[in-house]
């Protein structure tokens, strides 16, 4: 077992220093670590001055001259003083730690096609901004298996200077409380004012949906419909809003929006819209798109020659080639991650913490399920 | 702007509590947070007792009765007291934070095929163990662009209870210092004693290489060779050792191991081993394997009918189908990540911190580049 490496000075005025040859029974525990008081004593300054130097707050309430700073730094080197990061945070400093919290019971990597690129964007941007990332994989979990931010009244995100929250099924009460507590955070996903002062990053789902419908109408489709799932969710509500806007702007007679629970099969509904003469259906995600293609094919229709299907989200996609062939609005997951970091860093360094939001543009995959309407 | 939600009691003996209606100028700053002293005053106990309850150290030096604990918890709830996690860590508690540090200049996600599954394994295991993950994406970087653990004598990993270190090109001096400082960490990759008391997780590269050679010899190959790169690295040295062991065990006459810098082209060397009558070459990674296949093909040999190529690592693979066709020893990246977490948790909870290591079994991909030797 190696001995702790400590530089020991010959300055006899400092009595607290360790002498070479002191017995070492337990690594790092018997050897008392030099404290800020020790550094101050050796440098001939107060602990407050040492703290100001260590935490780079030399132009704050404690003013430190250049000469005193040099003495403190020399004493730090001589004693091998190591500031404690937890102490630095307590002293009002920051540790350059950004937290990532998800309400999903499983950490993002399990949902590879959606959360993973988001996390990747967060990691890239954090690295670029010189921020460490604290993934709250170990937080409290409710009896229902969802993660919680608060346990016994303790905000488990506190160890991070600020956090990025993601996951569809957020706990409004917790988000409100976080906001009321003044904890800096950015939500990925649109939030309404009822959640308190929430800063968020979202995608332009409404505009992207309008653009997708406009494209289909440009290909001759006049009978379109939308099958939405979980319409209570802002991201889906935005898509429905964009669909309605397209109908109004393009002067379509009928363009119904159906809302179904995400757990329900859509086969009968797809069959019904086909019977109504719809030639292009816009659906919530690629799984619904696959189901719609199957229904149309079973009825003897060719996709996309006779019937077009557009997914308003590329989720889930990933490695399934069939799902990746669906013409689809692309969620800008990587960018959402990146922008959430820059927004949070902005919040952390700003004087005032007024809630802010950013909107990121969606992409579009020109897949194989949308074509010019049959003549 | 919402007001902080604080439950205010009617207990007049507690003067420090906030009254509803107090002016709020800055969220979370003007409102003094209740302290442990406030809680102690209300509960009629010392701050030490409050601290013991908050940090779950009730059977330590401070003994707390059930009745006192109940009074403290009631006071905590009444005042809305929120323990500070940094303070908790300073008090000797743990925050259930495991750090992940890589010496690679870019964070793992950029090297998707190798580090990403490792990180995925780490995340899964951390979640399972109830540990948060601190990714050191923001640490100090040397002028050469590699990450550093220490800056100005400060161990930047301190904020985590312990850390997992990964990346090929570790700084031996830093690892030694970390070890000497008694900071708990697990290295992914074999480490020799010169690094100090290092706990590590590694794969059984030697055994896996022996097994691969044995398989080839079982297919009739008697003239084999190994092309190693970066033989200074323990993971490659282990493979060479396994290769030599196979030669000895199988009684092969010649089975040379060539060592080339990973940046050099291998074309001439591959041509030379073919000229020497070698029928199966074992190479460091899939890129070298691809080059070897190209050389053999250019010389009119069919792979694997006339010439076999086995990669001793599946790196890089990922989405390139050609690389994924190479018969290859598989690095158990996911398992290495998982096991590193469980080993670190073991270290963190153990009384003694003797260095320990774990060996994880490699896999084997029965690809398309190894076949029975031509008659």
Residues in contact with A100: Cβ distance below 8 Å, sequence separation at least 6, in sequence order: A119, A122, A133, A134, A135, A136, A163, A164, A166
Domains B97-203+334-362 and B205-330 share a fold: yes
Question: Which residue among B29, B86, B137 places its CB closest to the CB of A90?
Answer: B86
Please give the pLDDT value at position B52: 80
CB-based contact, B207 to chain A, within 8 Å: no
Q: Confidence class of residue B82 from pLDDT cuts 50, 70 and 90? A: low
Q: Confidence class of residue A6 from pLDDT cuts 50, 70 and 90? A: very low
Q: Confidence class of residue A29 from pLDDT cuts 50, 70 and 90? A: very low
CB-based contact, B28 to chain A, within 8 Å: yes
Q: Do A182 and B133 touch (CB under 8 A)?
A: no
What pLDDT, in 10s, does the model give residues A38-95? 888 999 988 788 877 876 666 556 677 888 888 988 888 787 776 665 666 555 567 7
CA nearest neighbour of B81 among B3, B4, B1 = B4
Q: Are strands A154-155 and A224-229 parallel, antiparallel or unpaired?
A: unpaired
Q: Do A132 and B123 touch (CB under 8 A)?
A: no
With contacts defined as CB-CB under 8 Å, which chain A residues touch B353?
27
CB-based contact, B70 to chain A, within 8 Å: no
Min Cα distance B302 → chain A (Å) is 31
Q: Do A133 and B129 touch (CB under 8 A)?
A: no
The more confident residue out of B92 and A277 is A277
Q: Do A353 and B130 touch (CB under 8 A)?
A: no
What pLDDT, in 10s, does the model give residues A297-312? 999 999 999 999 999 9
Question: Which residue among A76, A127, A155 places its CB closest to the CB of B153?
Answer: A76
Please check the confidence at residue B78 and state whether its pLDDT lies above 50.
yes
Q: Confidence class of residue B30 from pLDDT cuts 50, 70 and 90? A: very low
Q: Do B86 and A81 touch (CB under 8 A)?
A: no
Q: Confidence class of residue A251 from pLDDT cuts 50, 70 and 90? A: very high
Q: Of A45-54, A274-283, B52-61, where does mean pLDDT reach its minimum?
A: B52-61
Q: Of A202-206, B75-79, B344-348, where does mean pLDDT reach its minimum?
A: B75-79
Question: Which residue among B4, B137, B153 places its CB closest to the CB of A131?
Answer: B137
Give the Cα separation of A272 and A276 in Å (integer).
6
Please give the pLDDT value at position A92: 58
Give the Cα separation of A129 and A298 in Å (integer).
52
What pLDDT, in 10s, does the model give residues A112-168? 556 777 888 898 899 888 899 998 887 777 777 677 888 777 788 888 889 999 876
Question: Which residue among A2, A84, A134 places its CB closest to the CB of B197?
Answer: A2
The more confident residue out of A182 and A271 is A271
Contact B334, B247 (CB under 8 A): no
Q: A197 to each of A141, A187, A355, B293, how far by Cα in Å?
A: 25, 11, 5, 60
CB-based contact, A132 to chain B, within 8 Å: yes
With contacts defined as CB-CB under 8 Å, which chain B residues touch A156?
85
Closest-CA residue of B relative to A197 is B1
The more confident residue out of B264 and B105 is B264
Q: Tokens 């309407």, residue?
A: A373
Min Cα distance B118 → chain A (Å) is 11
Q: Do A137 and B135 touch (CB under 8 A)?
A: no
Strongest mean pLDDT among A155-159, B65-69, B130-134, B138-142:
B130-134
What pLDDT, in 10s, does the model give residues B283-329? 999 999 999 999 999 999 999 999 999 999 988 876 778 888 999 99
Question: Which residue among B132, B139, B182 places its CB closest to the CB of A134?
Answer: B132
Please give the pLDDT value at position B14: 32
Measured over all CA atoms, what is the biggest interatomic distance in chain B, rounded to whole angstroms? 98
Average pLDDT value for residue range A229-242: 92
Neighbours of B282 (CB within 10 A): 31
Question: Which residue among A138, A155, A179 places its CB closest to the CB of B82?
Answer: A155
What pLDDT, in 10s, does the model give residues A94-116? 778 999 998 765 454 444 556 77
Residue count of chain A = 375
Please check the confidence at residue A9 and state whether its pLDDT lies above 50.
no
Q: Confidence class of residue B361 from pLDDT cuts 50, 70 and 90? A: very high
Beta bridge partners of B154: B151
Q: Do A86 and B82 touch (CB under 8 A)?
A: no
CB-based contact, B74 to chain A, within 8 Å: no
- Side-chain-side CA neighbours of residue A273 (13 Å): 27
Q: Do A138 and B96 touch (CB under 8 A)?
A: yes
CB-based contact, B77 to chain A, within 8 Å: yes
Q: Do A180 and B2 touch (CB under 8 A)?
A: yes
Give the Cα separation of B153 and B159 in Å (integer).
15
The more confident residue out of B93 and B259 is B259
Q: Do A132 and B124 touch (CB under 8 A)?
A: no
CB-based contact, A29 to chain B, within 8 Å: yes
Burial A69-92 (b: 16+ CB within 10 A, else e): bebbeebbebbbbbbbbbbbbebe
Contact B70, B80 (CB under 8 A): no
Contact B325, B361 (CB under 8 A): no
CA nearest neighbour of B82 among B25, B143, B31 = B31
Rg of chain A taking only CA atoms, in angstroms: 29
Please check the confidence at residue B374 and state whether its pLDDT lies above 50.
yes
Q: Of A173-187, B10-24, B77-91, where does mean pLDDT reach its minimum?
A: B10-24
Average pLDDT value for residue range B220-246: 94
The two three-digit tokens of residue A65, written as one number: 């001259």
Q: Confidence class of residue B114 from pLDDT cuts 50, 70 and 90? A: low
Beta bridge partners of B259: B228
Q: Confidence class of residue B349 from pLDDT cuts 50, 70 and 90? A: confident
CB-based contact, A28 to chain B, within 8 Å: yes
With contacts defined as CB-CB under 8 Å, which chain B residues touch A136?
132
Answer CATH for B1-93 from 3.90.950.20, 1.10.260.40, 3.40.50.300, 3.30.70.3460: 1.10.260.40
Give the Cα separation of A183 and A172 in Å (integer).
15
- ipTM, 2 decimals? 0.70
Average pLDDT value for residue range B233-254: 93
Strongest mean pLDDT among A165-169, B100-104, B354-358:
B354-358
Closest-CA residue of B relative to A179 is B2
- The residue among A7, A95, A105, A137 with the most chain B CBs within 10 A of its CB, best to mutate, is A137
Looking at the structure, give the CATH architecture of the domain made up of residues A97-203+334-362.
3-Layer(aba) Sandwich (3.40)
Please give the pLDDT value at position A112: 56
- Report the SS3 class of residue B258: strand
With contacts defined as CB-CB under 8 Å, which chain A residues touch B130?
138
- Report the SS3 class of residue B279: coil
Q: Do B123 and A107 touch (CB under 8 A)?
A: yes
Please tell me the class of the A205-330 domain.
Answer: alpha beta
The more confident residue out of B37 and B88 is B37
- Domain coordinates in residue numbering, chain A: 1-93, 97-203+334-362, 205-330
CA nearest neighbour of A302 among A314, A311, A293 = A293
Q: Of B220-224, B259-263, B327-331, where does mean pLDDT reach its minimum?
A: B259-263
Closest-CA residue of A relative to B318 is A319
The more confident residue out of B354 and B259 is B259
Please check the confidence at residue B270 and state whether its pLDDT lies above 90.
yes
CB-based contact, B129 to chain A, within 8 Å: yes
């Amino acid at each position: 077992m190696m001995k702790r490496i400590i530089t020991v000075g010959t300055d006899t005025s400092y009595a607290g220093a360790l002498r070479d040859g002191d017995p070492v029974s337990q690594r790092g525990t018997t050897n008392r670590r030099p404290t800020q008081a020790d550094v101050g004593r050796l440098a001939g300054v107060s602990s407050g001055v040492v703290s100001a130097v260590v935490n780079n707050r030399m132009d704050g309430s404690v003013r430190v001259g250049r000469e005193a700073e040099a003495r403190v730094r020399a004493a730090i080197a001589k004693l091998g003083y190591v500031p404690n990061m937890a102490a630095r945070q307590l002293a009002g400093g920051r540790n350059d730690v950004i937290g990532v919290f998800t309400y999903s019971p499983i950490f993002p990597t399990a949902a590879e096609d959606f959360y993973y690129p988001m996390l990747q964007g967060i990691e890239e941007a954090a690295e670029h901004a010189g921020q460490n990332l604290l993934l709250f994989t170990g937080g409290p979990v409710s009896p229902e298996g969802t993660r919680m931010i608060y346990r016994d009244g303790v905000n488990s995100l506190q160890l991070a200077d600020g956090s990025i929250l993601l996951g569809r099924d957020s706990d409004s009460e917790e988000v409100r409380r976080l906001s009321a507590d003044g904890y800096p955070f950015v939500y990925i996903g649109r939030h309404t004012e009822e959640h308190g002062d929430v800063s968020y990053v979202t995608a332009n789902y409404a505009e992207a949906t309008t653009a997708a419908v406009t494209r289909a109408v440009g290909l001759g489709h006049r009978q379109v419909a939308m099958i939405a799932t979980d319409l209570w969710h802002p991201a889906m509500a935005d898509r429905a809003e964009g669909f309605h806007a397209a109908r109004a702007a393009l002067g379509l007679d009928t363009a119904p929006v159906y809302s179904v629970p995400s757990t329900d099969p859509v086969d009968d509904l797809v069959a019904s819209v086909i019977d109504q003469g719809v030639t292009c259906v816009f659906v919530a995600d690629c799984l619904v798109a696959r189901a719609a293609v199957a229904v149309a094919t079973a009825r003897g229709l060719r996709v996309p020659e006779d019937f077009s299907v557009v997914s308003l989200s590329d989720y889930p996609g990933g490695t399934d080639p069939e799902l990746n062939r669906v013409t689809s609005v692309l969620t800008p997951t990587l960018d959402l991650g990146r922008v959430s970091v820059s927004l949070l860093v902005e919040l952390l360094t700003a004087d005032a913490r007024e809630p802010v939001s950013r909107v990121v543009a969606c992409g579009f995959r020109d897949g194989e399920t949308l074509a010019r309407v049959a003549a």
